[in-house]
Structure 1
Amino acid sequence: MSLLFKQLNDGWNADPNAPGEQVSLIDGNLILSFRLNWQAYDAQRRERGRLLFPGVRRFRLGPENDHAWFDGNGRYSGVAPHWGEFYEISGEVEANLPTDGWVVVGEGGQDGRHFLFFLRDTTFECFADDWSFERDRG
């Protein structure tokens, strides 16, 4: 299996203990909101970050957690560079995709870009046109 993982989070990350992730859909765009890691990065306590995915086609919050990853039972254990990071995956992606748990949002011939974010107790994945990050200092 030939997969490439490009780490996308630079200078920020989700809270490793209680990210409090939330997914919402607005006009065909997916928003993944989560608490930022204020202990290791420049963030305020309880500050939230948002990943915006325009043109999302499908997404899932999978059951894989950090225990499965570190025990070597995770889907990308030993393949992805690190747990707890946000990646774009390219290469032979389809061969390794789970078939359950996907929420189909949009239509389109191509699946778009594959994004993966390892959170504490779940794994977020989506296929979308692009992504961006913003802070919600609320």
Structure 2
Amino acid sequence: MGARAAARQRRPAIPLTRAGELHILRDETPDHDAAMSNPNFKQLNYGWNADPNVPEPEVVVNGAEVRLTFYLNHWAYEARENEKGTLAFRDCSLWRLGPTNDEGWYAGQCRYSISAPAWGEFYELLGEDDRRLVPADWHKLGPLTSGLRHFLFYLRDETFECFGADWKFERSGASI
């Protein structure tokens, strides 16, 4: 087992939110009863992607900014071996790094398995969606307001999601 894989196995699990908190989040969601059942997926990662084997995602939260850092796929895209990329989301209200992996997605265990175009991509979900708050492991940073965008990134062993105002991609400190 490589050093990156061994380090990944030692990573502690992210604590889940209380079940009651999810109920509060649903009550705070604007127009949650008028949600659409099939959101549209806009792919956002062109020219880069996470390592398909061991991306080792790490989340850092600073106020309402959420940063997801991961190893880049240097086999299929222009990247150096062991180079990291970071997605920075501003004005976030909710985020999660959940357990659905590629095997679960292909087995239909993901709430978007049927509607998402492909596994392993970074998307913005457009339109309302009655399934957006189904996972119970959301971390709440603020109220979920109608102007926030829903971002979703399918990684090898996890799924990252957040609701934020905007995003940017950085690689080794340089913006792309």
Across the two proteins, how many residue pairs are aligned to each other? 138
Task: Choose which of 37, 58, 66 in structure 1 pairs with 2:102.
Answer: 66
Greater Cα shift, 80-89 or 109-118: 109-118
Pairwise mapping of residues 109-128 of structure 1 onto structure 2 (< 5 A)? 109-110=145-146, 112-128=148-164
Task: Choose which of 22, 31, 44 in structure 1 pairs with 2:80.
Answer: 44
Give 1:92 deviation, angstroms: 2.9
Task: Choose which of 61, 77, 89 in structure 2 pairs with 1:25.
Answer: 61
Higher strand share: 1
**Under a length normalisation based on structure 2, what TM-score does the superposition of the two structures give?**
0.73
Task: Indicate if the aligned counterparts of 1:30 and 1:52 stay in contact, CA closer than 8 A.
Answer: yes
Matched, 1:13 2:68: no
Matched, 1:78 2:114: yes
What is the RMSD computed on CA atoms of the aligned residues? 1.7
Greater Cα shift, 22-31 or 116-125: 22-31
Q: Percent identity?
A: 49
Matched, 1:131 2:176: no
Higher helix share: 2
Unpaired runs of 5+ residues, structure 2, are 1-36
**Under a length normalisation based on structure 1, what TM-score does the superposition of the two structures give?**
0.92
SS in 1 for 2:166: coil
Moved over 4 A (4+): none
Structure 2 equivalent of residue 102 of structure 1: 138
Unpaired runs of 5+ residues, structure 1, are none
